[in-house]
Amino acid sequence: EDDRARPYDRAAVERFHHALVNIAGVFGRFRTGFIGKSSPVHLFWGALDLAVTRFSGRVAPSHPGGIPNLPDAVTREAYSHEVSSAGFWPGGLGIDYPAFYSYAYPTPAGFEGARIEPSSAFFYRPLGEFILKYDDVRTADDPEAALMSFLDTTYRAAAEFGRWDRAALERQIGEEARPRAVS
C-alpha cells in the first residue's frame, strides 16, 4: 500500500505530455513507410517507453529473458519474431537523461558498427541499443528531420544486416491515417 503524498510538478508533466504527443506524431509518420507487420505507436509495458516496432516476418530464436520487471514468458512472446524497435524513454538503466533508442532482436552481426544519423547518435553497449539524446533532437534545426533520420538509419541497419526482404516490406513514407492514391 502506497498512500504517502507525492510531489507533483504540473509544468514538468505538461512538458512531458507535449513531448510525447510530438514524438508520437513522428513515430506514426515513420510507421507509414512499412507494409509488413508493425506495432501501433504505444506505451511499452514496464518502463513508460513510447515505442514503435517493425517485424521482419521471420521467427526469431527464443529470447533468453532476464529483462528487469518483465516476466520471461512475456519477453519470449514479445520477441518471438525478428524486430527492429525504436522508442523514447525518460531515462534509466545507465541513461540518466531522456533519450531515443533503437535496437534489433536478434541483433544482427555488424549492427553495432552501422553508421547512424544524426552524428550525435551512438551505440550504447550495456543495453545493446543505439541512443540519441532527446536534447540533441529538441535543439536541432529541424527536430522532426533529426528524429526521422535516426529512426530510418537504425531501421535500415537492422534490416540490411539482418537480411530482411526490404522490397516486400517497405514503401514510401506518407501521412498517417491518409490512404495513398491508387495508380
Residue percentage of the chain with pLDDT more than 70: 95
Average pLDDT over residues 38-50: 86
Q: What is the pTM of this model?
A: 0.90
Which of 9-13, 52-56, 76-80, 138-142 is predicted with the least confidence, judged by mean pLDDT?
76-80
Count of residues making up the chain: 183
Would you say 52 and 86 are in contact if contact means Cβ atoms under 8 Å apart?
yes
* In the predicted structure, residue 46 carries a pLDDT above the cut 80: no
* Whole-number pLDDT of residue 23: 97
| Whole-angstrom distance, CA of residue 128 vs CA of residue 101 | 10
* Whole-number pLDDT of residue 47: 74
Q: What are phi and psi of 23, to 5 degrees?
A: -65, -40
* Whole-number pLDDT of residue 172: 87
Residue in 94, 154, 90, 92 with CA at minimum distance from that of residue 121: 154
| Whole-angstrom distance, CA of residue 148 vs CA of residue 19 | 15
Would you say 114 and 161 are in contact if contact means Cβ atoms under 8 Å apart?
yes
**3-state SS assignment for residue 128:** coil
